Structure 1
Amino acid sequence: VTKRRGKDGYVLRSSGLNFKFLYTPNNATFYQMLFLKSFVIFVGLALLAMLIDYSIRLYRERKDLIGEINSLSVIDRRKNLRDFVLGIRKMSEVGELTRKVKALQGRKLKIVLVEIFDSDDEGLDFKNFTLAREYLKESLSTESVYEHIDIDYKSIAFIIPEESDSVIEDAFHFILENIGQKYSVELIAAVSNEFVSVESFPQEYITCKKILDAKFMAKGRKVLFSENIKSGKLILTYPIETEAKLVSKLLNGNLQGAKKIVDEIFIDRINPEAMDKKDIKEFTGLLYNTLNRVVVQLKEFESSLQCENLDIESITKTGDLDKIRVIFNELITEICKQKKTSEQDENEAIREKIKSYIDNNYHLDFSLDNLADYLGLSFKYTSILFKKVMGDNFKNYINMYRIEKAKEILKEKKEIKIKDLAEKLGYNSSNTFIRIFKKYEGISPTQFNPEEILEK
């Protein structure tokens, strides 16, 4: 070795070798270099792993997003279909319909509308209907192309290829019977007329709704057809929604509103020619039940009414529809008359109670809340009731009452101080009293002269 060249190595003396420079690494430098390269490799691998993981997650998220978009598209198409069937949107306003409906186009179709038999049943558990609806979908999914439409919380519709009435009745009767046993939910179905054009969906849905109006006359049948009504096998009386409206009008004493509903029942919904004696008896039974429901509720909330004087059974003692209508109108007239009389008596009692409270408390700074507590009613109802029975709102009435009291006191005590007068009237500030007095009388309390008023 001739000489050392820094830390890099040595220059060799011998020229017989193929090289003249020998590298001899420093151990510390070597390990530092090894660590640095290893660290770089490790970081590189870590970054590669992160990149791979990110790519995988990005791929999965993209796949999920595409799935969600597709799901939203399906939901949107189903909503389009429901809105179109319900008549909410026109065909021109509807976007893409479902694939099953597309597959059904050009074929003869029918709509089967299934709903809860009595949705007003207090013991009904709507969770069971949700389970029953899913069971119904699964049961029909094994058939050919059946499309379902979730209408609302109590009904679902199916669009099915045209089949004979007997086949449809057998299939749905069997499924609805099973649902009744399995989920304790009584369902009933209505089948539309046959149609081909998709544009007929709304009209045939209405047909199903009209058929179901007669469900309380179905006499145990699970599947109803329009032919049943046309032939007189089922009599279209009035649905439970109509009864609810009639009961509401009677409980509110609204005779005119009640008579309009009665006209709707007798003129628009009853077909006398299709009714025999048995049908009329069942119809009068429905009318009796409606009136009985009203009487029961009146007895519960209006104890002062003379409900026992109402001979509602008289409606069941004739088989003539014209006489039934006359008797029914007489009964609802008497109910509304008694309701009005009772309401007037009740209003008078409340008026006296309110006046007594104001007479005893006008000198205090009381509010509508205090009056509501005294009456045992809610703030909102007390506000409405006060205006109804007193003829003015609470604030205006109290101010006018106190101003009249102030004028009486000023006649007796001309030298009374305004501050003392304000306190006697329940005002917490003399300025407030002066402002209100001036608002109603046009002058301040100090300018008030009872003698001038008497002269005028």
Structure 2
Amino acid sequence: MKSKVIFQRYGKYQKKMYIMNLMLSLILTSILVPVIFGLVFQMNARDYRTAMDESVEKTLGNASLKSEIIAEALHTIEKSQELQSFLSASTRGEYYLYSSRLKDRLTRVSSRYLNAAFVLSITIPEKSASVITPYGTTGKESFAEEFFGDAGALAEQSEKLTARGNGASFSFERERVLHYMKYDRLQDRPYLIFLQVPLAELIDFAPAVSWNLADHQTIFAGRKNISYEQMQAIVSDGRELIESRKEVVFARWLDGLDWILTASYEKKKPDMAFFFFYFLLPFLALAALIAAVSSLITRSLYRPIKELVTETKSIVPADNEHDEIKLLKQGAAQAHQLSKDLRETLSEKERLLHYKQNRDLLFGILPPEADRKEGQLYVVAVFSLHNLASEEKCYLFKQYLQEKLESSAGVRYINTEDISCTLILEAESLEAARRFISEKLEDSPADAEVQIALSDPGFGMESIKTLYLQCSLLLQYKYLYRQQRFLSADLIPLKADENYSYPLAAENSLIQAVLRGNPESLKLFDRIISQNEKIMASAPQTQRRFVLMLTGTLHRILREFYMEIPLKYDLHELDEEWQNPEIFARIRQDISDILNFVASKEKQEDDDLAKTLLTYIEEHYHEDIMLVDLAEKINASEKYCSMLFKQSVGENFKTYLNNFRIERAKEILRAQPDAKISEVAERVGFNSANTFIRVFSKHVGLTPKAFAERE
């Protein structure tokens, strides 16, 4: 019957789990809630920024448009024939006649621009002259009372402007109306022109936006939260948007009136309500939820431990407390021992399986293709222990040999019989195998009593069976050559095999290596020739068949290219000259020519692809193109496309594209110095004027506007 373990409500480890989970949860909450609060605030601030930017830009655009309309009206009046006639009137009759015509002209100009409300008036500096308005003529004192709010202000300002000279102007704001007064001369006759624009026509900002309006002298309208010098500095820098840590400032030059309009607003700040709803309240709610969830998670996590402890036989302390960790350690020690025993069993099973696979090789049973080594040469060595006096000496020698071979790579050991064992060596030559075995047996106590049969090198695992049979044949001469330590075919004359060794696997490996342009192809060819040298020397007809097989391999390689490849030696001539001592060197030269062709073909393909990429950029630089577009164009991956572009051009794609666009922009600015920067940016492929200005300034050292002025 199973022994039961009586638990308290909480064990030592369970208490620790409760505390640890609660602390981790509170730490996670302390990190997560501020992060979420920050993200939500950033999203809220970004939406607020977007809305405010759109509102300000819309108002600034409207102000620019209407200022252009008003400036055009001013220009129309100043260049009109009516004004010229009025200023050149020499008699009272002409004066009244041309005054009437000028009044009509003012009326027509005002009615022409219905989408901009403004009033234009004109007079000359003489005290006796009247002021001509769209509604008629009026005295200067009455007009000054209406325009300045002071009957004597007109004469005072007229004197100041006259002293400043032609084109002098004066602006101010009164009763939410913008007033503009300008002194100028036409045909050497002075005149004064007045403009009245309701403030609402130009300024319609949201309450959160602070604005200021200035002329060449001072700020004459707005909230004046910025100094005149600061406004001048903003305009002189050529920037329309200035952003600081606390606020965003927009600046716009109203060209026709020579006014500077700025608008600014403070960035979004978290308030107490936002802090309460998006930080404090979620923190308290999440903390309460975590306290409940932590208890459930701890119980769920502890349940398997409780079951393990219950299953562990142990003694419960007298005070009815238990230490789960101690109980689990006892169970873990038992599990560790079982695991150790299992690993030893699996290791022994794997060793036996490996031994069986090695033994199967001697009888032509090959492992799966994944475990084979293509193009490897093998030598089989059979150790004959018949000269050892006892079975114990045979056993000790085999143990000694296995210990020596434990750290050696490319060696397979097989215990074939009681008085023999076999090695399968990965060796390039018979001499290399002989030298390896001599080093391993250097301090063997039974070295002199052991004879070793060594096969010739064989190509691939499929040759191991034949090599093992060759060793068996060599051992038949062990009594005849009992003084020889190594028995090999170069020592004992065996019947020559009239067939060459050129298996299908070796041919396929050679073909694939050449098609890939692998320089190792020549080494593989040399191995095949080296393996068949003795056979070729003793059997001329075998050499002829072997040469025909090699030229047939070259024919199959050439068919894969679907084009003619120039070779130094014609394949038909090679077939006819099979007895030539240089025949194999010539075949090797043809293989080298094919490898050189593959290498040059790959380089030409890379150059053609690079030209395609550059042509694509020249045709589409004004579009929003990216590296993925170029990769799709040449049907390649982005990584390969980037590597090919950098290798062929010398710089990465983004740098080259920006340089190309900037050069096109410089050409446009030279041809069209008055072109708008935003239009130039769009024509050369930049998404925004600000990005264009930044990249242009970085590459040229000047802003686009400064570059156009300099050119």
Normalised by the size of structure 2, how large is the TM-score? Answer: 0.35
* Identity level (%): 20
Structure 1 counterpart of 2:547, from 266, 271, 284: 284
**What is the deviation of 1:338?**
3.9
Corresponding residue of 1:261:
523
Whole-angstrom CA distance in 1 between matches of 2:340 and 2:615? 68
Query: CA contact under 8 A between 1:277 and 1:319: conserved in structure 2?
Result: no
2:620 counterpart residue number: 361
Greater Cα shift, 405-414 or 361-370: 405-414
263 and 43 in structure 1: CA distance in 2 versus 1, 3 angstrom threshold: closer
Distance 1:342 1:262 in 2: 23
2:564 aligned partner = 306
1:157 and 2:415 matched: no
Among candidates 694, 699, 710, match of residue 435 of structure 1: 694
CA distance in 1, matches of 2:550, 2:337: 57
Query: Secondary structure of 2:673's partner?
Result: coil
Matched, 1:407 2:666: yes
Question: Match of 1:284, as an amino acid?
Answer: V
1:362 CA displacement: 0.6
Aligned residues: 326
Higher share in helix: 1
- For 1:306, what is the secondary structure of its paired residue? coil
**What code does the residue aligned with 1:408 have?**
E
Q: Partner letter of residue 689 of structure 2?
A: S
**Alignment partner of 1:415: what SS?**
coil
Which residue identity does 2:457 align to in structure 1? I
Greater Rg over alpha carbons, structure: 2
2:547·2:575 contact (CA, 8 Å) conserved in 1?
yes
Q: Counterpart amino acid of 1:323?
A: E
Partners of 1:218 and 1:51 lie apart in 2 by: 56
Residues 368, 379 of structure 1: 8 Å contact kept: yes
Which residue in the other structure is 1:68 paired with?
A: 339
With 277-286 and 220-229 compared, the bigger mean Cα shift is at 220-229
- Once the two structures are TM-superposed, the CA of residue 386 in structure 1 deviates from its matched residue by 2.7
Once the two structures are superposed, the pairs formed by residues 299-448 of structure 1 within 5 Å of their partners are: 299=561, 303=562, 305-306=563-564, 311-312=570-571, 314-320=573-579, 322-339=581-598, 342-343=601-602, 345-448=604-707
2:557 to 270, 280, 294: 294
Unmatched 5+ stretches in structure 1 = 1-41, 83-97, 102-110, 127-143, 173-191, 201-206
| CA offset digits 1:39-87 (Å, max 9, x no partner) | xxx999776x9688569999987555324224445777999xx9xxxxx
Q: CA deviation at 1:448?
A: 2.9
Give the drift of 1:368: 0.9
User: Where in structure 2 are the equivalents of 1:104-123 lying within 5 Å?
Assistant: 114=361
Distance in 1, Cα, partners of 2:635 & 2:607? 17
Does the CA contact (< 8 Å) of 2:454 and 2:488 recur in 1? no
Query: 2:92: which partner in 1?
Result: none
Structure 1 residue 369, shift from structure 2 partner: 0.6
The one-character-per-residue Cα deviations of 1:331-350 (angstroms, maximum 9, x if unpaired) are: 23442454355445534543
Distance 2:364 2:406 in 1: 17
Measure how far apart 1:229 and its partner are.
8.0
Cα distance 1:283–1:52, how it changes in 2: closer, same or farther (>3 A)? same
Letter of the structure 1 residue corresponding to residue 340 of structure 2: I
Maintained 8 Å contact 1:288/1:316: yes
- Where structure 2 has 5 or more consecutive residues not aligned to the other structure, the ranges are 7-308, 316-326, 372-394, 425-432, 443-452, 472-486
SS, match of residue 448 in structure 1: helix
What is the rounded CA distance, in whole Å, between the counterparts of 1:68 and 1:447 in structure 2? 79
The answer as to whether partners of 2:577 and 2:583 remain within 8 angstroms in 1 is yes
- RMSD of Structure 2 on Structure 1 (CA): 6.0
Distance 1:355 1:265, change over 3 A: same
Query: 2 CA distance for matches of 1:438 and 1:371?
Result: 27
Residue 159 of structure 1: SS of its match in structure 2? strand
Q: Hey, what's the Cα distance between the residues in 2 that align with 1:449 and 1:416?
A: 9
Contact 1:406 1:425 (C-alpha < 8 Å) held by counterparts: yes
User: How big is the shift at 1:363?
Assistant: 0.7
2:249 matched residue in structure 1: none
Give the CA deviation at 1:372: 1.3
Any conservation in 1 of the 2:607–2:648 contact (CA below 8 Å)? yes
After superposition, give the CA deviation of every residue in 1:270-308 in whole Å (9 maximum; x if it has no partner). Answer: 645874325534643563465345335x43xxx5x3259
Task: State how far apart, in whole Å, the 1-side matches of 2:650 and 2:662 are.
Answer: 17
Pick closer, same or farther for the CA change 1:411–1:163 going to 2, 3 Å.
Answer: farther
Match runs of 1:236-247 below 5 Å = 244=509, 247=512
Provide closer, same or farther for how the CA distance between residues 220 and 374 of structure 1 changes in structure 2, counting only shifts above 3 A. Answer: same
Summarize the Cα distance change of 1:412–1:317 in structure 2 as closer, same or farther, 3 Å threshold: same
Question: Whose strand fraction is larger, Structure 1's or Structure 2's?
Answer: 2
SS at match of 2:687: coil
What CA distance in whole angstroms lies between the structure 2 residues aligned with 1:227 and 1:316? Answer: 34
- SS of 2:361's equivalent in the other structure is strand
Give 1:355 shift: 3.1
| Structure 2 counterpart of 1:294, one-letter code | I
CA distance in 1, matches of 2:682, 2:455: 67
Equivalent AA in structure 1 for residue 412 of structure 2: A
Amino acid at match of 1:446: K
Deviation at 1:399, TM superposition (A): 2.0
Supply the distance in 2 between the matched residues of 1:50 and 1:451 (Cα, whole angstroms): 89
Residue 459 of structure 2: aligned partner = 213
In structure 2, what is the Cα distance between the partners aligned to 1:282 and 1:428? 71
Q: What is the Cα deviation at residue 351 of structure 1?
A: 3.8
TM-score scaled by length of structure 1: 0.50
Name the CA shift for 1:436/1:212 in 2 (closer, same or farther; >3 Å).
Answer: farther
Alpha-carbon deviation of 1:311?
4.9
- Taking the aligned partners of 1:411 and 1:116, their CA distance within structure 2 comes to 85
Check whether the contact 1:437–1:444 (CA below 8 A) recurs between aligned residues: yes
Native 8 Å contact 1:266 1:325 kept in 2: no
Aligned residue type for 2:415: I
In 1, the alpha carbon distance for the partners of 2:503 and 2:706 equals: 69
Change (3 A) 1:238 1:45: closer
Paired with 2:687 and 2:605, the residues of 1 have a C-alpha distance of 34
